[in-house]
């Protein structure tokens, strides 16, 4: 029980979390498993660089992988990895002035609907008072989404806009608080005169709050 050595191992996890690309990768993998080239594309890195980052994450045992055909799919080793990421993010939001500032600026122009989370939101979705849409790619939606949410990947947003009523409130969510896609989606919905707001939460926040997720049964 030598603390010296044990903290050396814990530091491997800190090391894995010491690079922004790796943190983004963890957040992406928290949505659903992904192949290296998809991840490289999403991160804006070369295949080799992405592979190297994943190697670091695996050496910290934060991710696992599975080979299928010529793809290697990476996934979080455990739900606890998502909790750790959340813990890091929240510590940052609480302590780092640069993040506090951005979060505060963002919150200034939010409205009542975006504060509607958890059970209360679920109730309104169930009763049909609110339309909840998931802006992530279909694969991520299928891997786990908020109950009652409808999948509207960004490339299908125009279709959705055409079919939606102007009145009924729409709540959109994406990959979590730092994800820009939801913001952009809401902007487009509002430009189409729809009553849309953004929900900051992603599946990590949702699960951590003890709320249930729905999963599409894979074929």
State which residue, 45 or 211, has the beta carbon closest to DNA: 45
Q: Which residue has the tokens 């790619």?
A: 137
Please report the sign of the dihedral spanned by the C-alpha atoms of residue 46, residue 47, residue 48, residue 49: positive
65 forms part of the interface with DNA (CB under 7 A): yes
# residues near a copy of itself by CB under 8 A: 53
Active-site residue flag, 179: no
Tokens describing residue 84: 């750790």
**Do 50 and 44 meet the contact criterion of CB atoms below 8 Å apart?**
no
Q: Are 36 and 70 contacting, i.e. CB atoms less than 8 angstroms apart? A: no
Give the 3-state secondary structure of 178-196: CCHHHHHHHHHHHHCCCCE
Among 48, 52, 71, 78, binds a copy of itself (CB under 8 A): 78
Near a copy of itself by CB under 8 A, which window of 47-55, 76-84, 114-122, 132-140? 76-84
Give the CA radius of gyration of the chain.
19
Residue 126 is a binding residue for a copy of itself (CB under 8 A): no
Which residue spans within 143-215 are E strands per DSSP?
A: 150-151, 170-173, 196-198
- 3-class secondary structure, 76: strand
Annotated active-site residue in 174, 182, 203, 204: 174
Partner from DNA, a copy of itself, none contacting 211, C-beta within 5 to 8 A by type: none
Q: Does 209 bind a copy of itself (CB under 8 A)?
A: no
CB of 165 to a copy of itself, least distance (A): 28
Is residue 12 close enough to count as binding a copy of itself by CB under 8 A?
A: yes
Q: Which residues are catalytic?
A: 174
Binding residues for a copy of itself, per CB under 8 A?
1-24, 27, 60-62, 77-78, 80-81, 83-84, 87-92, 94-99, 102, 106, 177-180, 183
């Amino acid at each position: 029980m030598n603390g010296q050595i044990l903290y050396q191992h814990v530091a491997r996890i800190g090391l894995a979390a010491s690079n922004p690309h790796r943190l983004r990768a963890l957040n992406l993998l928290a949505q659903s498993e992904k192949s290296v080239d998809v991840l490289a594309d999403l991160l804006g890195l070369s295949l080799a660089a992405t592979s190297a980052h994943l190697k670091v994450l695996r050496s910290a045992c934060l991710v696992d992988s599975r080979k299928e055909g010529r793809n290697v799919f990476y996934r979080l080793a455990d739900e606890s990895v998502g909790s750790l990421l959340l813990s890091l993010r929240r510590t940052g939001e609480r302590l780092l002035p640069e993040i506090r500032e951005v979060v505060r600026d963002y919150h200034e122009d939010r409205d009542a609907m975006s504060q509607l989370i958890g059970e209360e939101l679920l109730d309104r979705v169930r009763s049909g008072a609110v339309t909840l849409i998931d802006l992530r790619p279909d694969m991520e939606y299928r891997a786990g989404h908020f109950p009652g949410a409808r999948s509207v990947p960004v490339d299908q947003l125009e279709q959705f806009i055409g079919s939606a009523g102007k009145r009924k409130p729409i709540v959109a969510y994406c990959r979590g608080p730092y994800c820009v896609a939801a913001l952009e989606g809401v902007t487009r919905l509002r430009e189409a005169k729809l009553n849309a707001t953004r929900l900051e939460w992603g599946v990590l926040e949702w699960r951590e709050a003890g709320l249930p997720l729905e999963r599409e049964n894979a074929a």
